[in-house]
Amino acid sequence: MSAGPVSRPADPPPPDRVIPSWTDRVVAQASEAVGGPWGRHAVTGRALFWTPLRVCLLFTTFVLALAWIKQAPCSDGNWTGWVQYTHFCYSDTVPLFGLHHLDTGALPYLDSAVEYPVLTGGFMALAAAIARVYDGAASTWGLLPHVPPVESYYVVTCLLLSLCALLTTRAVLGLSGRRPWDAAMVGLSPLLFVQAFTNWDLFAVALAMLGLWAWARQRPVLAGVLLGLGVAAKLYPILLLGALFLLCLRAGRLRTWLRTGVAAGVAWLAVNVPLAVLAPGNWSRFFRLNSSRPADPDTIWNLVLHATHQRAFDGPLAKGQSPTVLNAVIAVALLLLVVAAAWLTLAAPVRPRVAQLAFLLVAGFLILNKVWSPQYSLWLLPLAVLARPRWRSLLLWQATEALLWVPRMLWYLGLHNRGVGIEWFFFAVVLRDVAVIALMGLVVRDVLRPDDDVVRTTWPGVDDPAGGVIDGARDMVTLTLRRSAPHRAQEPSRT
């Protein structure tokens, strides 16, 4: 009796998400430490607890814990011996606690002038209020450790900022489509470790990314509200609205964008108008300061000024004098940036993805602006991850950001305190700028050659996971005056 044919088990179906160790060389090499890349027959998407979201949030928590350890020497406000520079733990939140009289319960704008947009001042006031509750409980009950008021305020601030970082990671995962593990690039970021608690920028970053996530889920009004609140915390999310406008222009979806734009305007006005009426002088300080302040040390304009012995642009400025010529030059440069972004959006063979255009606008703004505080680079982090989720290029750029923090602190320390000269600081600034420009160049190349875009090529059929109403839409306005379908590869075979 002859044996029948031997049945072979069918090959497992392809995974329903991108496996990083299959698509990224850096991850594949790193995976050798734990047994190598994910196996062909391994099961994906069936974990009961350790889902990609929870793992990425755990990564973020771990890095934030390391960031807190780094910041601990500065937490009590005792900066004797320039500890903020020697231990690389400087944070604006500590000195501004007393400078803005938050220690006495003063309200930003109403009781003291604050050089930040309205919602950032509200964030400061919220942290101070929570800290006062803790201080009162510690004094009344005696069961809680007593700490200086500035330390309880700083701890609360860092906890609130940590929540913002976790929300940012969640939003990036929601925006990544079939690439959920890209959010790990945010959670494990060296930039997050260095700058998470330097200022309040993570608050604006969280609002901006939640706004883009709402857009991706086709909630244009909610997206507008969140982006408008982001603009009320830091102005940069207005660039994200500009990116959405250009993309909707090409896709013929301006009506949807208008709903988002109006919602953003209403949200911004709702939180700004009351303070503009009650305390117009203090409310407008942020805008006056940005007009009158000179070029910051770590900008290309300061490099030019230093190279020309302060003779470029306006020449030497008197105290309080506005750099009118420099302001005009920057305004023209930023206008050219917008024109270039518009040309790229309308002339690219395939409509750019939201994250690509948003990253280019924000990165270009930072390069050309006269202010680039170190924590501003956090604005770029989630956008860079979504625009070009490649570990190698992202880590190289962030290495330059982390490196810049060291000579910055040592330059502030001064040569008389065994610091470094300004030349080392400028060298690190140029290195960082070159890295950002190189990353911008790689993103532009992906826009002009969409077959090199890792988001579109690692999962067939993908147009733009963050596109919302424009995901998969046909082009209506291009520079060639023709309509074209978006780039879509064939769906993978399931047989």
Q: Is the model's pLDDT at 493 over the cut of 50?
A: no
Least confident of 188-202, 366-380, 392-406, 458-472: 458-472
Q: Which of 10-19, 193-202, 277-286, 419-428 has the lowest mean pLDDT?
A: 10-19
Task: Check pLDDT > 70 for residue 36.
Answer: no
Is residue 34 predicted with pLDDT exceeding 50? Answer: no
Q: What is the pLDDT of residue 390?
A: 93
Bridge partners of 108, per DSSP, are: 112
Whole-angstrom distance, CA of residue 251 vs CA of residue 397: 32
What's the average model confidence in pLDDT over 358-387?
A: 97
CB 405 within 8 A of CB 194: yes
Highest mean pLDDT among 23-32, 460-469, 475-484: 460-469
Q: CA 42 to CA 286: how far, in whole Å?
A: 55
Write down the pLDDT at residue 35.
Answer: 45
Q: What percent of the chain has pLDDT over 70?
A: 87
Residues 6 or more apart whose CB falls under 8 angstroms from that of 125 comprise 102, 107, 108
pLDDT digit string (tens) for 62-98? 999 999 999 999 999 999 999 999 999 999 999 999 9
Residue 484's pLDDT is what?
A: 47
Backbone φ and ψ for 281, nearest 5 degrees, come out as: -65, -50
Task: Write the CB contacts of 441 (distance below 8 Å, at least 6 apart in sequence).
Answer: none
Residues 188-204: what's their mean pLDDT?
Answer: 97
Q: How confident is the model at residue 25 (pLDDT cuts 50, 70, 90)?
A: low
Alpha carbons 368 and 371: distance in angstroms, whole number: 9
Give residue-wise pLDDT tens across range 277-287.
Answer: 999 999 999 98
pLDDT digits (tens, 9 = 90+) for 385-413: 999 999 999 999 999 999 999 999 999 99
Q: Which residues contact 182 (CB under 8 A, 6 or more apart)?
A: 172, 173, 176, 385, 386, 389
Q: Is 308 helix (H, G, I), strand (E, B) or coil?
A: coil
Residue 319 has pLDDT above 90, yes or no: no
**pLDDT: which is higher, 390 or 314:** 390
Better pLDDT: 288 or 366: 366
Query: CA-to-CA distance for 317 and 320, rounded, in angstroms?
Result: 8
Whether 17 has a pLDDT exceeding 50, the answer reads yes
* Residue 244 or residue 312, greater confidence: 244
Distance CA 233, CA 256 (A): 24
pLDDT tens digits, one per residue of 265-301: 999 999 999 999 999 999 999 988 888 889 999 999 9
Burial of 131 (0-12, 13-18, 19+ CB in 10 A): buried
Residue pair 227/354 in contact by the 8 Å Cβ criterion: no
pTM of this structure: 0.90
What is the pLDDT at residue 291? 87
**Tens digits of residue pLDDT in 326-351:** 999 999 999 999 999 999 999 999 99
Give CA–CA dist 430/432, Å, rounded: 5
Q: Greatest CA span in the chain, whole angstroms?
A: 105
Name the β-bridge partners of 112. 108
Decide if pLDDT at 317 tops 60. Answer: yes
**What secondary structure does DSSP assign to 117-184, as a single string?**
-HHHHHHHHHHHHHHHHHHHHHHHHS-S----HHHHHHHHHHHHHHHHHHHHHHHHHHHSTT-GGGGH
Given this model, what pLDDT does residue 216 score? Answer: 97
To which residue do tokens 């959405």 refer? 244
Q: Which of 410, 415, 414 is nearest to 425 (CA)?
A: 410
Query: Distance between CA atoms of 235 and 227, rounded to whole angstroms?
Result: 10
Tell me the mean pLDDT in the region 161-189: 96
What mean pLDDT is reported for the chain? 88
pLDDT at 139: 87
337-360 as b/e: b if 16+ CB within 10 A: beeebbebbbebebbbbbbbbbbb
Of the candidates 177, 172, 222, the residue with the CA atom closest to the CA atom of residue 192: 172
Angle, alpha carbons 230-110-130 (nearest 5°): 65
**What is the distance between the alpha carbons of residues 367 and 361, in angstroms, rounded to a whole number?**
10
Q: How many CA atoms lie within 13 A of 210 on its CB side?
A: 20
Give the tokens for residue 81: 């011996």
Whether 481 has a pLDDT exceeding 80, the answer reads no
The rounded distance, in Å, linking the Cα atoms of 134 and 175 is 37
**299-313 mean pLDDT:** 91
Instruction: Report the C-alpha gap between 191 and 74 in whole angstroms.
Output: 19
Q: What is the pLDDT of residues 210-237, one digit of tens each?
A: 999 999 999 999 999 999 999 999 999 9
pLDDT band at 480 (very low <50, low <70, confident <90, very high): low
Mean pLDDT of 438-461: 91
Question: Cα separation of 286 and 60, whole Å?
Answer: 31
Helix, coil or strand: residue 415: helix
Residue 100 pLDDT exceeds 80:
yes
| pLDDT of the residue at 18 | 62
All residues at 6 or more sequence positions from 327 whose CB lies less than 8 Å from its CB, including other chains: 291, 370
Nearby residues of 407 by Cβ (< 8 Å), 6 or more positions away: 420, 424, 425, 427, 428
Q: Determine the straight-line distance between the first and last CA of the chain, rounded to whole angstroms.
A: 33
pLDDT at 6: 42
Model pLDDT, residue 492 = 37
Give the pLDDT of residue 4.
46
